[in-house]
A and B are shown apart, each in its own frame.
Chain A
Amino acid sequence: MSSNAPIKPSRLDPEPVPRRDFLGKASLWAAAATGVFATLGIARLPKAAVLSSPSRKFKVTLPENLPEGQAFVPPGRSVALFRDKEGVHAVSIVCTHLGCIVKPNANGFECPCHGSRFAADGAVTKGPAPAPLPWRKVTVDGSDCMVDEDASVPPGTKA
């Protein structure tokens, strides 16, 4: 007789992956997936969608007698405004290293926190600052200046 004939599998034979194991594993994976998605959903909450910080676009009038090369920092703002023959420009005074407010001096800017120094155009001359101070967008309207601290312009742009 043909002993090679395939034997009909019996209902009682052990299954390759027992049904109980499969169901058990499936429910464990489902529970794990639920945990992951719940965590992701929870993590979504602390990431603010709307920032509470006030608008950083403002209007300012420069002092009439502001000497060339002298910085004017509007109260409560973090830009220094300069006026020369070519026009007005604004340099951010937030240190690119760790966010301290840099102080304008005769040669440019100095940071009190970790000793970064910047040239008058914002380029780093000393210290740990990784990037130059960015220039901000200024539009002149008569005697008023509109400064947008959120908009950067290439250094050398004057209005």
Chain B
Amino acid sequence: MVVLAPPPEKHDALRRFFANLRATPARVKDSAFRGGKPNTDRTRSTFVFGNVFLHLHPVRTHRWSLRWTATMGLGIASLAAFLITLITGVLLMFYYKPHPAIAYDSMKDIAFVVPTGNLIRNIHRWAANVMVLTVILHMARAFYTGAYRAPREFNWLIGMGLLVLTLGLSFTGYLLPWDQLAYWAITIGANIAQSPREVTDALGLTETFDVGGLQKLLLLGSDTVGEEALIRFYLLHVMILPLGLVALLSVHFWRIRKDGGLVRPADADRRLGPVHAADYPVFTEEPRKTYQLAAVVRGKSGAVARGPENTVPSMPHLFYAELAVTMLTIAICVALALVSDAPLKELANPQVPENPAKAPWYFLGLQELVAYSAFMGGVGIPGIVLLGLGLIPYLDREKDGTGEWFGGPGGKALVLQALFVGFGAALAIEAFAIRYGWLREWIPDIQQLWITVFNPGTVLTAIYAAYSIWLVKRHQSTRAGALGLFTCFLCGFVLLTIVGVWFRGPNWDFYWSPSDWPGH
């Protein structure tokens, strides 16, 4: 029997048009989210690799990486803080005007006139502080769990670059309000950039090889802090450094995947024990395709040989954890912004320095060192520290204790000892210099080069280096030396920062408490 097609109706096209119109919302949703709801292993995978933002994640995550103590969420917290500064920063750009004549006025507008302006600025400022803190803590976590070791050496270097960019972003943001705090912090910063002259002057090279002068000129665009400096810091703050940060962040995340995920002990699977089948179904619903050979590449094969038993789908296990950390970071920044206003001092006055002129807290450790020698405190010792941190993954080629907190020879006891040595040495040298002064007070005519080479900062660095070398010998392990060195650097940073924040007053003199400061 032949079925005849229904005769074409007169209004067919119009009917189809309306039918399509009714179906449009559902079809838009389908076309945007092709995989459908992530409720089977298959659609959970599609959810990850079908999304440009999520596909930096693996489809499945090892259970070890999801343990709270594995990362403490510090990396995601830094990323969240960065995203908060990005959003609030763009909002502030609606009103901020980078010219000395009006910058301060526009800051006043943001603080007192712009709707929610003050809150947004506070959140921006607090998120920047949170970011610096979490980046430092994240670095400490990566160090103490041995995450810098092969094959993750290069990502450690990228992380160091991110630390430098984070500090650079904070510093450049510091100038923009054009108040007294900003002006004098940048004057000091620009002169630190010029401080290689301390050495070239002493060697009589400044005429021919003035790297310090060049750095200051490039930074300020002039020989004083003025409109050129403001526009340069603005450009660095809103464009160059954020772009650099995003570029390095992409490499950082990508390398986590390429380097085999987050670090975990070699026997992580055994320690985690078997998976409860009800908790983490593997290969259950719709196992239509479980593995696809996308390309033949060098390196270890995927989870094929060992089976994916100890991995769980990233959606929802990893993403919900990341979301929780992000929400917590936002909550902390907003809460801090509600209780504490970002400072705005009086208009910049090039004739009268702030007294004391203090940088943000994370630079006060450096400022303490700079108060002994500008070059060593501002360029030399930070350079040595960065070099030391960068070399660690290439010198420590051991395997013991990777993925463990304080893993490696010596372990927790060694870190505890290093804490005592690090704090003790820093405290002793600070107390000595505060009580007895330094070379200039004892021998007024001394050559500057002696002070540059031999000052409390360099002595402390030398003590730390000697202690670490002793640890290498004592434990017959580079990891032991690295543990000691990193812990000492951290102690020195914390102690000098504490002294700079709470115990330095007018003229950078030592005071037990700000209530002892002389009145003006």
Contacts and interface: CB of A to CB of B under 8 A. Distances in A.
A100 B374 contact: no
B448 A130 contact: yes
A128 B375 CA distance: 10
Given A48-B228, A126-B441, A101 B188 contact: no
A87 interface: no
A130 B452 contact: yes
B269 interface: no
B191 A99 contact: yes
A48 B221 CA distance: 6
A102 B372 CA distance: 17
B221 A46 contact: yes
Contact of B356 (A113, A123, A124): A113
A100 B218 contact: no
Contacts of B218: 46-47
Bin chain B's interface residue count: 35 or more
A130 B201 contact: yes
Given A99-B190, A130-B374, A113 B228 contact: no
Interface stretch (B134-142, B165-173, B501-509): B501-509
Given A110-B507, A112-B357, A126-B440, A52 B228 contact: yes
A42 B508 CA distance: 41
Interface string A36-53: 000000000011100111
B256 to A, nearest CB: 29
Contact of A115 (B195, B214, B507): B507
Contact of B437 (A98, A112, A113, A126): A126
Given A53-B224, A110-B507, A128-B373, A100 B201 contact: no
Interface in B340-361: 350-357
Contacts of A67: none
B356 A112 contact: yes
Contacts of A114: 367, 370-371, 508
A139 interface: no
Contact of A52 (B202, B227, B373, B506): B227
A54 B363 CA distance: 31
A45 to B, nearest CB: 11
Contacts of A131: 201, 448
B14 to A, nearest CB: 60
Bin chain A's interface residue count: 20 to 34
Interface in B173-203: 184, 187-188, 190-192, 195, 198, 201-202
A111 interface: yes
B206 to A, nearest CB: 11
A52 B371 contact: no
A97 B377 CA distance: 12
A112 B507 contact: yes
A115 B509 contact: yes
Interface in A117-146: 123-128, 130-131
Nearest to A113: B357
B226 A99 contact: no
Nearest to B216: A99
A115 B187 contact: no
A113 B227 contact: no
Given A48-B221, A76-B351, A113-B508, A97 B374 contact: yes
B187 A100 contact: yes
Q: Main SS of the interface on chain A? A: loop
Nearest to B373: A128
B217 interface: yes
Given A112-B357, A113-B356, A128-B370, A51 B188 contact: no
B226 A52 contact: yes
A104 B187 CA distance: 20
B223 interface: yes
B359 to A, nearest CB: 11
B191 A98 contact: yes
A46 B233 CA distance: 13
B193 to A, nearest CB: 10
B374 A47 contact: no
B357 A100 contact: yes
Nearest to A75: B351
B222 A53 contact: yes
A125 B439 CA distance: 11
B201 A99 contact: no
Contacts of A128: 370-374, 440, 451
B188 A99 contact: yes
B188 A53 contact: no
Nearest to A124: B440
B444 interface: yes
Residue picked from A46, A101, A128, most chain B C-beta under 10 Å: A128
Contacts of A126: 437, 440-441
A98 B188 contact: yes
A81 B216 CA distance: 28
Contact of B444 (A76, A78, A124): A124
Interface in A42-74: 46-48, 51-53
Given A76-B351, A115-B508, A131-B201, A98 B440 contact: no
Contacts of B506: 112
B440 A100 contact: no
Contacts of B351: 75-76, 78, 101
A124 B437 CA distance: 14
Nearest to B510: A115
Interface of A: 46-48, 51-53, 75-76, 78, 97-101, 110-115, 123-128, 130-131
Given A98-B370, A128-B440, 6 more contacts: A100-B184, A112-B353, A112-B357, A113-B356, A123-B444, A128-B372
**Top 10 closest pairs, chain A to chain B, by CB:** A112-B355, A98-B191, A99-B191, A114-B371, A115-B508, A130-B448, A100-B353, A98-B188, A114-B508, A115-B507
20 contacts: A46-B232, A47-B214, A52-B221, A52-B222, A75-B351, A97-B191, A97-B374, A98-B187, A99-B190, A101-B350, A101-B353, A112-B508, A113-B353, A113-B357, A114-B370, A125-B441, A127-B371, A128-B370, A128-B451, A131-B201
